A and B are shown apart, each in its own frame.
Chain A
Amino acid sequence: MSWIKDLISPKTRKWEDFYRNRWQFDKVVRSTHGANCTGGCSWMIHIKNGVVVWETQALDYPIIDKNLPPYEPRGCQRGISASWYLYSPIRVKYPLVRGALLDLFRKEKDRHGDAMVAWENIQTDPEKRERYMKARGKGGFRRVTWDEALELISIANISTVKKYGPDRLVGFSPIPAMSMISYAGGSRFLQLMGGVNLSFYDWYCDLPPSFPETWGEQTDVAESADWYNAKFIAAVGSNVAQTRTPDVHYFAEARHNGTKTVVFSPDLNASGKYADEWIPIHAGQDGAFWMAVTHIILKEYHHEQKVPYFLDYVTRYTDSPFLVQIEKEDGIYKAGKLLRANKISKYKNVENGDWKFLNIDKNTGEFVCPGGSSGHRWDDRDGNWNLKYQDAEIGGDYEPLLSFIENNDETLQVEFTEFGLDKKRLRGVPVKNIKTVDGTINVTTVYDLIMAQYGVARGLEGDYPQSYKETDQSYTPAWQEIFTGIAAQNVIKFAHEWSKTAMATNGKCMIIIGAGVNHWYHCNLIYKAGTMALMLTGCIGKNGGGLNHYVGQEKAAVVDSWGHIMAGKDWQGPVRLQQGPIWHYMNSDQWRYDGHHSDYNTVPENGLSGLHTADMIVKSVRNGWMPFYPQYNKSNFDIVKDAQNAGAKTDAEIKEYLLGELKSEEILHSVVAPDEEINFPRVWFIWRGNALMSSAKGHEFFKKHYLGTHHNSIASELAKGLVNDVEWKEEAPQGKMDLIVDLNFRMDTSALYSDIVLPAASWYEKSDINSTDMHSFIHPLTAAVPPVWEAKSDWAIFREIAKATSEVAKTYFPHTMKDIVNLPLMHDSKAEISQTDVKDWSKGECEMVPGKTMHNIAFVDRDYTEIYNKFISLGRGTKNGLGAHGNSFNCADYYEDLLEDKNHLQKIKGEVYPSLKDDEEAINAILHLSSVTNGELAHRAYQNAEKRTGMPLTDISADFKNVKLNFADLQSKPQRYISSPVWSGIMANGRAYAGFTYNVERLVPWRTLTGRQHFYLDHELYIKFGENMPTYKPTPKPNVLGDLKNSVATGKAKVLNVLTPHGKWQMHTTYSDTARMLTLSRGMVPCWLSEEDAKEIGVKDNDWVEVFNDYGVYGARAIVSARIPKGVCIVYHATESTYSSPKPQVRGYERGGGHNSFTRVRLKPNLMAGGYGQFTYHFNYWGPVGVNRDSHVLVQKMDRVELG
């Protein structure tokens, strides 16, 4: 064969050096990407000739266990495109200011010689305001110096603080975990100022509300290596092959290790091809499927076979054996509240008796008050917060009675509602008639209630289904067919395989779940439905089991020390951490376009469910369930001054004054009048995220009401007459925000619409740290090259803003001011046990007691000349100890230790502090002080947990006591962090991390009312909204959602349910604008249509279409595909309007928006509950979420396409 060339003529092969030279490089550094992708992959960045040339994945992950596939290589098509950004034409190289604003500012400044006067003159002149606001998003950027940009920002900061108070400064930056220091830069600055951080995890609808409902936990899931331990995996609403790119090999590798895998998805997606079965479920109907699976599990494996593992599990680890009151209402028996310990004479006087709950001892028939409840958690006495089978009040072991089926006083016919077919049924429930301090009442167990709710007859009388074939009876396999389109036989087969696997493996069945489910209005119910199948088969808190929700990179592993520094708690306590969804719903005026939630939310009729969502928000804010900033229709500084003028001297007296003013309505909460000028948020910092596009649910309302610029909404206002507590103004304001500042390395839609764009360092130009719940490592971001052109790291930018702002304050606002901080009732604090009932002080239903019947009121002194000094140094508050998730530890000695490092100190007014001036100093302080990177601190945290629980726990950290990681360690090799009680998984001895293994193996309670996993949710709002038990609620229909009231099709169009799952060529909008991703896809984010629907509206593949409803319009190219079901279209999350964005015809040839142009946020009111066990606020943790998947649109072909 002539073409085989041996090395006989080496000279002719010398040309091969051409490619060898190309491969050579000068340096390699380790970094990663901050893109909220949950990837958190370690990458090696190659530098040649001083320029970043390419990146490849790190391969040096430690092996967790020889029987687990290794993590290498992690990193996907998007991550490997990151190097494109550094030198790309979309790179922001210099500070930019919108010309219209800059001209006004310069002119006024020239005229008056004073920057502050210049700014105030612009802000007090409506014409000038309108002039620059209308220019937002319309081009006309000017390059300015850093100094000029910083001047404008710091003048706006101080002007706003001085005039309105600091709670009008807001910041949005998503998902700290992806680059924690960059996040912390902005939040530390804002919190030191007294400003507001907007939440993101709930706003994105990435927060699964069912986690706090069931477990009192934000989210705590298995790392992807643990998928391999599962023997049955159901992937639900989670296209793992597309969105969990670096992890999904575990899915395939598990299959080849004998694991059964089933994927549920309406479209045939990349994961559907990857599994044993792909089940084409109707969009958003997963809840119905899982309700039926659970029906079968309860009937066959609990009632008929009584599988010991399953029954033991639910008895020990769930609220199953706890007692629930059956209450008679209008002659009908209904499930009521959990029976409180203090209702029974023998426990009448126990501490926190409203928050302790009861079992019955199987052997004696006596009441037992088991430990572990929220009451025990907040008792003065230690040692009773555990899951032991012991009476925590009077001592003694017992065995819980799970059911009254064989041991009851009578069977009552209790009413159950099935919302899918809207049918009420009376079903027999076994009860005991017990004596309480208020008289005799009927109680049953949660387990018995659940059996009846799911329609498992057990020989009891009542309206129970008699077979799986009944279609009109709750939760049978035949019933679910109606909603899911899955034949009953499939459900039965699935339930059998699932249960048998769980039996054979003691709980190794897993659900991988995601945004495909969590973005629906009733996401909490759908999640709950799946969770029930897991809990009833003993699959939670097990390696290889669990409800593994992967939506958003929410796990900042070093949350304890990082949270402290990012919120500036080392200097001052109270912080303003705002629940994003209610904030945007009110402030972007989306509430005005919302009719009554009961139009689309199936609820029983009663006073609480009858409130408009905006009114429920007001209630939640007044009652301290949810925070809301700005706080009052008056500056906090002015309130303090007025109080002092009225004679108040102490904080307590100022508080009294304020309460009086609130009671007499002299001062109002801002939330009741979001359209009054005095209540506007004013200055908005956006960094690390795309707040005006991918994070702007109701994008067009943002443009209209926040920015005051062009928009494409034609939606009608509907709330007039439906709201009582919220003030209705006939004319909604447009342009609430005075200044929008965006830190960015790329010109995304948010940058394009901001007033000031600051050049931020990319992920290869700064030091930072990154963690995720997909794996158990902390990865560094490292500067492969210094920040290019005039870019700076986010930390450095906010440090410079702090410096400039402190300088401006010296001239314009040098006084120390007392600020009032409203704080909601907080999760993991005693406020969890503050409100047994829903009572509104503003309606005279209870007294005003801050921290009990209403929000807390705290005071902070603000010296704006000191913001910079505080920013760059670690305050003494650190010595009081750190913690997270209800755990704490002392670290004063480690603070002192930092002071020993003479090269990293700040000397301020004669005092010495550890320095946080540089990014790396902040990183090392965080690693030094976190219990997951400092073994001694983990040990102390376990010691404290031992005390609280009375359980031995410190052995978990024994092997890790010498661990102490610093930044250089992270750079040298991927480092696994260690077990700490701030997280619920145990990682010792080569184990993959799995959530709640700590609780199950160590009998440490969940942070819920009973301390167990909750089947039953007895908060009054849940009862009143029909969500106290796992249930199914139908997906709202387009006609009731009202997305299309005013939209008129001008051509052949069709109404479709628009789905926005996460895409293949982007992480949100990041990477979507890179040449790589655009070339490998269709050059933009297209609209996928089924072949049938496309044919009906005359659309061919690659035609331009407009996707629109009343809220706005998105112009896109169509992809016609047989893998899409009829009736839905898919626009992958998320789009940008910065490239290939045409001018759709339906809104008069104005530039189209994006995927959030056809969304408007709808909030579930019962998710606003507060001050009640697991229903208690924490930032990004509890509250309503920004659902978006119920939306409907019209799709039609575009006849004329203008791209320029």
Chain B
Amino acid sequence: MDIRSQISMVFHLDKCIGCHTCSIACKNTWTDRKGAEYMWWNNVETKPGTGYPTKWEDQKIYKGGWEKKGDFLNLKGAGKIKGIKNLFHNPNMPEMDDYYEPWTYEYSNLFDAPEGDDQPTARPISLLTGKPMDVKGGPNWDDDLSGTPDYARQDVNLNSVSQAEQEAMFQLEQMTMHYLPRICNHCLNPSCVASCPSGAIYKRGEDGIVLVNQNKCRGWRMCVTACPYKKTYYNWNTGKSEKCILCFPRLETGQTPACMHTCVGRIRYLGVMLYDADLINTVAISDDADLVSNQMEIYLDPNDPKIIEAAKKNGISDDTLEAAQKSPVYKFVKEWGLALPLHPEFRTVPNLFYVPPLLPTMGKVEDGNYHNSAKELFGGIEKTRLPISYMASLFTAGNEDTIKTVLKKLMAVRWYRRDETVGDQSKSELEVMLKEVGVDHEVADDIYRLTSLPTVKERYVIPPAHREEALEMIEDSGDVKGNTGFGFHHKPERGL
């Protein structure tokens, strides 16, 4: 047993409003600069849709992640060996059209235009060439089902959905959508790290954050291909790849990552998970149907004295263990089984988990009028607008039972709270419902509280970073205090 600690996240999609505040918080803080314009370390997608970069989920195109070959795992696309062959021509990279050409406007024209015979305006100009351009794509082009014929209808997850269901998905009265915010998954089996010819990418021991060393990176871009989530980006200005750093400078000072701090839908949770690194490979080569359940096995009970002892032996500090015990992520993922990884079939063992959305119940149009046949107050899971098969394609590598169980649990908790606060529905049916999903009143109450009432401190439980210990390895921490801020900063320089 090799116990390690990992900062992990839960995004509650039922609460997500797709506002993109997270994306801008991240951009303002990290990627508001030349070469990084098109980088959206945090982005939000509308589902169904093709996302950013477009069709990123389709590994037939991009060859990201791992593939299982018998008992072995291979990088699907750019491995170190394959990569070297393709060093100067990597065929599986997203191109500018898959991202977009960043642009601004000729705002100065509004101030400087001499008097003319019509109103001046600011036309779009390319941030790459400085010339007028026709805007044809952006990082969120299919927002709120924009351009359904070209985007939502091309969603690769629809491959798992029957033709009849697909038709319903695009009939106005039966359709639905939801949002999918994405950051780097800081995977346990990160294909980006494995793909890097320079060894510039690493996973931090103390918290599991995956970073691209800006000094070591040589801009091979193998990681861009290898990451199936397309969460590493190439900075065309510095010649280095960059990615979400989970705001480690904020985490190290006890603050949540910027995207989480600013999440106004209050959908995000962050906490420590203890896991057994010896099991990573076992999980990653599981059969599709078992990927999620096996991944759950890798996470360990932070209250179990045996685990605590083993963790301590591995150098995990007391306060990290305490944080793990309070981790909201552990509760959602492991205790309650409500949060699922995104596309586990990429086999990178991601550490960002999603509570799937509860969507409106089905209705349809007959004789020109909208009908809704649901008898119950809240409607049934079976009639959810978004096909279970679609959700299974996103979160369980096709396992529909897991999705159903999660949705039923969420509904049971709602019925429980209805009973507590109104009491106008059948109590016996409620008990049957709770029993079916194995949730007692106390757990239902806990789920409700962490879903509806959590304060910022309950949503984000950040382990102390003990920076003084890290600094001490290089110089006297008292000297660090005295010298902080002095000296010249060097930004990463392009070149091999």
Tell me if B453 and A69 are in contact (CB < 8 A): yes
Nearest-neighbor residue (CB-CB) of A245 within chain B: B19
Give chain A residues whose Cβ lies under 8 Å from the Cβ of B177. Answer: 268, 273, 1123
Tell me if A279 and B372 are in contact (CB < 8 A): yes
Given contacts A11-B474, A139-B114, A1138-B110, contact A1082 B20 (CB under 8 A): no
Contact with B along A1160-1204 (1 / 0, CB 8 A): 000000000000000000000000000000000000000000011
Tell me if A487 and B371 are in contact (CB < 8 A): yes
Tell me if B258 and A258 are in contact (CB < 8 A): no
Query: In which size bucket is the chain A interface?
Result: 35 or more
The yes or no answer to A57 lying at the interface (CB within 8 A) is yes
Tell me if A1120 and B369 are in contact (CB < 8 A): no
Give chain A residues whose Cβ lies under 8 Å from the Cβ of B130. Answer: none
Contact with B along A260-290 (1 / 0, CB 8 A): 1001000011101111111110000000000
Tell me if B21 and A75 are in contact (CB < 8 A): yes
The yes or no answer to A345 lying at the interface (CB within 8 A) is no
Given contacts A252-B265, A280-B173, contact A63 B455 (CB under 8 A): yes
Inter-chain CA distance A302–B456, complex, in Å, is 46
Contact of A19 among B27, B132, B248 (CB under 8 A): B248
Nearest-neighbor residue (CB-CB) of A1079 within chain B: B138
Contact with A along B409-426 (1 / 0, CB 8 A): 010011111111111100
Tell me if B359 and A1078 are in contact (CB < 8 A): no
Contact with A along B179-213 (1 / 0, CB 8 A): 00000000001100110000001111110101101
Inter-chain CA distance A70–B457, complex, in Å, is 11
Tell me if A255 and B422 are in contact (CB < 8 A): no
The yes or no answer to B18 lying at the interface (CB within 8 A) is yes
Tell me if B424 and A4 are in contact (CB < 8 A): no
Contact with A along B117-159 (1 / 0, CB 8 A): 1111111100000001001101111011111111010000000
Tell me if B146 and A141 are in contact (CB < 8 A): no
Nearest-neighbor residue (CB-CB) of A55 within chain B: B28
Contact of B277 among A4, A260, A490 (CB under 8 A): A4
Tell me if B370 and A279 are in contact (CB < 8 A): yes
Given contacts A75-B21, A1204-B132, 14 further A-B contacts (CB under 8 A): A19-B249, A69-B452, A81-B24, A83-B28, A140-B114, A231-B421, A245-B17, A258-B417, A275-B360, A1101-B150, A1102-B147, A1122-B172, A1123-B144, A1138-B122
The yes or no answer to A100 lying at the interface (CB within 8 A) is yes
Given contacts A501-B424, A1140-B121, contact A15 B213 (CB under 8 A): yes
Inter-chain CA distance A116–B117, complex, in Å, is 30
Contact with A along B11-52 (1 / 0, CB 8 A): 000110111110111011110000000000000000000000
Inter-chain CA distance A1100–B150, complex, in Å, is 9
The yes or no answer to A99 lying at the interface (CB within 8 A) is yes
B120 to nearest A CB, angstroms? 5
The yes or no answer to B178 lying at the interface (CB within 8 A) is yes
User: B98-106, B297-305, B394-402, B432-440: which one contacts chain A?
Assistant: B98-106
Given contacts A10-B470, A747-B110, A1139-B107, contact A260 B378 (CB under 8 A): yes
Given contacts A3-B202, A4-B277, A18-B492, contact A257 B421 (CB under 8 A): yes
B359 to nearest A CB, angstroms? 6
Tell me if A73 and B456 are in contact (CB < 8 A): yes
Inter-chain CA distance A879–B18, complex, in Å, is 51
Give chain A residues whose Cβ lies under 8 Å from the Cβ of B265. Answer: 248-249, 252
Give chain B residues whose Cβ lies under 8 Å from the Cβ of A659. Answer: none
The yes or no answer to A96 lying at the interface (CB within 8 A) is yes
- The 3 A-B pairs at the shortest CB distance, nearest first, are namely A140-B115, A258-B418, A258-B417
A30 to nearest B CB, angstroms? 15
Inter-chain CA distance A1140–B415, complex, in Å, is 50
Give chain B residues whose Cβ lies under 8 Å from the Cβ of A1073. Answer: 105
Interface residues of B in 206-253 (CB under 8 A from A): 206, 208, 210-211, 213-216, 245, 247-250, 252
Tell me if A23 and B249 are in contact (CB < 8 A): yes
Tell me if A252 and B422 are in contact (CB < 8 A): no
Give chain A residues whose Cβ lies under 8 Å from the Cβ of B136. Answer: 1102
Given contacts A3-B194, A5-B202, A258-B421, contact A76 B19 (CB under 8 A): yes
Give chain A residues whose Cβ lies under 8 Å from the Cβ of B135. Answer: 1082-1083, 1140
Contact with B along A71-99 (1 / 0, CB 8 A): 01111110111010000111000001001
Given contacts A1-B277, A59-B456, contact A89 B249 (CB under 8 A): no
Inter-chain CA distance A55–B315, complex, in Å, is 37
Give chain B residues whose Cβ lies under 8 Å from the Cβ of A493. Answer: 372
Inter-chain CA distance A273–B422, complex, in Å, is 24
Tell me if B470 and A1203 are in contact (CB < 8 A): no
State how many residues of chain B have any CB contact under 8 Å with chain A. Answer: 137
Sample 7 A-B pairs with CB under 8 A, ordered by A number.
Answer: A89-B107, A253-B266, A270-B144, A277-B374, A1100-B149, A1122-B170, A1151-B119
Give chain A residues whose Cβ lies under 8 Å from the Cβ of B453. Answer: 66-70, 253
Give chain A residues whose Cβ lies under 8 Å from the Cβ of B172. Answer: 268, 280, 1090, 1122-1125
Nearest-neighbor residue (CB-CB) of A757 within chain B: B111
B30 to nearest A CB, angstroms? 7
A964 to nearest B CB, angstroms? 28
Contact of B24 among A67, A77, A89 (CB under 8 A): A77
Contact of A77 among B21, B215, B421 (CB under 8 A): B21
Give chain A residues whose Cβ lies under 8 Å from the Cβ of B115. Answer: 99-100, 135, 138-140
Tell me if A1141 and B264 are in contact (CB < 8 A): no
Tell me if B473 and A276 are in contact (CB < 8 A): no
- List chain B positions with a Cβ less than 8 A from chain A: 4, 14-15, 17-21, 23-25, 27-30, 102-105, 107-108, 110-124, 132, 135-136, 138-141, 143-150, 152, 170-173, 175-178, 189-190, 193-194, 201-206, 208, 210-211, 213-216, 245, 247-250, 252, 258, 261-266, 277, 280, 315, 357-361, 363, 365-366, 368-372, 374, 377-379, 410, 413-424, 448, 451-456, 469-470, 473-474, 489, 491-492
The yes or no answer to A22 lying at the interface (CB within 8 A) is yes
- List chain A positions with a Cβ less than 8 A from chain B: 1-7, 10-16, 18-23, 53-57, 59, 63, 66-70, 72-77, 79-81, 83, 88-90, 96, 99-100, 135, 137-141, 228, 231, 241-242, 245-246, 248-249, 252-260, 263, 268-270, 272-280, 481, 485-487, 489-490, 493, 497, 500-501, 504-505, 710, 747, 752, 1064, 1073, 1075-1076, 1078-1083, 1090-1091, 1100-1102, 1119-1125, 1137-1141, 1143, 1150-1151, 1203-1204
A878 to nearest B CB, angstroms? 40
Tell me if A21 and B489 are in contact (CB < 8 A): yes
Give chain A residues whose Cβ lies under 8 Å from the Cβ of B105. Answer: 89, 1073, 1075, 1078, 1139-1140
Give chain A residues whose Cβ lies under 8 Å from the Cβ of B28. Answer: 53-55, 80, 83
Given contacts A138-B118, A258-B417, A270-B17, contact A1120 B149 (CB under 8 A): yes
Given contacts A3-B201, A3-B202, A14-B474, contact A485 B141 (CB under 8 A): no
Give chain B residues whose Cβ lies under 8 Å from the Cβ of A1125. Answer: 172
Tell me if B359 and A273 are in contact (CB < 8 A): yes
Give chain A residues whose Cβ lies under 8 Å from the Cβ of B250. Answer: 23
Give chain B residues whose Cβ lies under 8 Å from the Cβ of A72. Answer: 455-456
Give chain A residues whose Cβ lies under 8 Å from the Cβ of B357. Answer: 273
Give chain A residues whose Cβ lies under 8 Å from the Cβ of B451. Answer: 253, 256
Tell me if A255 and B414 are in contact (CB < 8 A): yes
Give chain A residues whose Cβ lies under 8 Å from the Cβ of B358. Answer: 255
Nearest-neighbor residue (CB-CB) of A544 within chain B: B421
Query: Which of A138, A241, A258, A490 is packed against the most chain B CB atoms within 10 Å?
Result: A258
Inter-chain CA distance A1030–B382, complex, in Å, is 40
Tell me if A1076 and B149 are in contact (CB < 8 A): no
Nearest-neighbor residue (CB-CB) of B424 within chain A: A504
Given contacts A249-B265, A486-B370, contact A1122 B148 (CB under 8 A): yes
Contact of A1080 among B143, B363, B491 (CB under 8 A): B143
Give chain B residues whose Cβ lies under 8 Å from the Cβ of A3. Answer: 190, 193-194, 201-203, 210
Tell me if A504 and B423 are in contact (CB < 8 A): yes
Give chain A residues whose Cβ lies under 8 Å from the Cβ of B470. Answer: 7, 10
Tell me if B448 and A276 are in contact (CB < 8 A): no
Inter-chain CA distance A254–B422, complex, in Å, is 13
Contact of B120 among A23, A63, A138, A485 (CB under 8 A): A138
